[in-house]
């Protein structure tokens, strides 16, 4: 079973930060990708969360099947169906959805869950492990490659090292499970104990599992220079979620520089999916269409 001690974590954190300060290579070796960069465009179902959410008082105005149809209508070849929006989550339902998408010519990049691996409550931690493991299996049925996961937040009275230790051990155990299904767990830079890029790289270094990588969310760093922080993570990305806005520390939201983001991915020879995850306050169909149109010119078609 995958485990890491707090003592080992402390040495990893120290060594990782020290190497960053000296300009040496940080974290685990970057993913080796032969050939040229290949960015394949997709749309994340989360972009349509207000239309798909069936857990609110108002009934949803879009089904997951309609989401797939709409994306196919854009001329794309892939979607990321977020786990939250499936009204039925049985294995049979996953197989049925995979078939539906296959007939539309759509690949399923993977899926995304909203777990918390920093909780000090042992019972809750067990349930979170089960949640991720269940969706690893469902992702495999869907034909997906990655499951987007979160680390979690720092609980009051907890130390960062304690939270990191629990998170690392939980991710490692889930990676062992994911290995049985050929699925990769993709940790997102999603605030909490991953809000700081150096803290996130400490996790990456400690886990160092073949079924682990980064879900690079381009809009989640609220730092002074989010582009620089994204560049540090890009070598470890196994999937990318692109947001159309950035929010640097101390500034208002600003449009994302899509050209710069694509260039960053090309620089590290990224080969994989780039899923548009639209969060801007506008009609998601308009926002996603505009982003995909620009991205197609930047990545050479994006299918």
Cβ burial, residue 43 (10 Å; 0-12/13-18/19+): buried
Determine phi and psi for 302, rounding to 5 degrees. Answer: 75, 20
The reported pTM is: 0.91
Q: Are the C-beta atoms of residues 145 and 109 closer than 8 Å to each other?
A: yes
Q: Model confidence over 88-147: pLDDT tens digits? A: 999 999 999 999 999 999 999 999 999 999 999 999 999 999 999 999 999 999 999 999
* pLDDT under 50: residue ranges of the chain: 13-27
Q: Count other C-beta atoms under 10 Å from residue 47's C-beta.
A: 27
Mind giving me the DSSP string for 171-200? HHHHHHHHHTTT-EEEEE--SGGGSSHHHH
* Domains of the chain, residue spans: 6-18+34-284
Residues 145 and 98: their CA atoms lie apart, in Å, by 13
C-alpha distances in Å from residue 80, one per residue of 30, 84, 207, 228, 259: 24, 12, 25, 26, 22
Instruction: List the one residue out of 192, 174, 191, 194 whose CA is nearest residue 183.
Output: 174
Residues 45 and 52: their CA atoms lie apart, in Å, by 8
Residues 243 and 162: their CA atoms lie apart, in Å, by 31
> What 8-state DSSP symbol labels residue 84?
G
What confidence score (pLDDT) does residue 101 get? 99
Domain 6-18+34-284 listed as CATH 3.30.1490.20 = no
What confidence score (pLDDT) does residue 11 get? 56
What confidence score (pLDDT) does residue 142 get? 99
Q: Are the C-beta atoms of residues 119 and 152 closer than 8 Å to each other?
A: yes
Residues 303 and 299: their CA atoms lie apart, in Å, by 9
The whole-angstrom distance between residue 156's C-alpha and the CA centroid of its chain comes to 26
> What would the 3-class secondary structure string for 33-51 be?
CCCCCEEEEEEEHHHHHHH
* Strand, coil or helix: 139: helix
What confidence score (pLDDT) does residue 8 get? 59
Q: Which two tokens stand for residue 248?
A: 């640097």
Q: Which two tokens stand for residue 49?
A: 């969360």
């Amino acid at each position: 079973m995958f485990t890491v001690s707090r003592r080992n974590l402390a040495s990893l954190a120290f060594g990782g930060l020290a190497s960053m300060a000296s300009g040496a290579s940080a974290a685990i070796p970057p993913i080796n990708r032969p050939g040229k960069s290949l960015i394949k465009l997709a749309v994340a179902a989360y972009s349509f969360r207000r239309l798909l959410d069936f857990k609110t008082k108002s009934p949803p105005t879009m089904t997951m099947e309609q989401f797939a149809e709409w994306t196919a209508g854009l001329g794309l070849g892939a979607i990321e169906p977020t786990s939250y929006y499936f009204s039925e989550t049985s294995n049979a339902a996953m197989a049925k959805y995979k078939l539906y998408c296959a007939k539309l010519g759509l690949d399923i990049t993977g899926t995304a869950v909203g777990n918390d691996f920093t909780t000090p409550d042992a019972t809750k931690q067990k349930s979170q492990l089960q949640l991720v493991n269940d969706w690893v299996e469902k992702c495999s049925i869907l034909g997906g490659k990655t499951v987007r996961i979160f680390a979690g937040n720092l609980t009051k009275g907890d130390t960062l090292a304690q939270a990191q230790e629990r998170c690392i051990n939980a991710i490692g155990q889930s990676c062992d499970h994911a290995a049985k299904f050929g699925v990769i767990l993709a940790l997102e830079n999603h605030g909490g104990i991953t809000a700081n890029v150096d803290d996130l790289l400490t996790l990456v270094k400690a886990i160092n599992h073949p079924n682990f990588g980064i879900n690079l969310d381009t809009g989640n760093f609220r730092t002074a220079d989010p582009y620089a922080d994204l560049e540090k993570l890009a070598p470890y990305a196994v999937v990318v979620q692109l947001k159309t806005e950035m929010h640097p520390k101390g500034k208002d939201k600003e449009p994302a520089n899509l050209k710069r983001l694509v260039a960053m991915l090309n620089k590290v020879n990224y080969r994989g999916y780039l899923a548009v995850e639209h969060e801007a306050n506008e009609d998601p169909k308009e926002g996603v269409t505009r982003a995909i149109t620009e991205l197609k010119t930047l990545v050479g078609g994006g299918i």
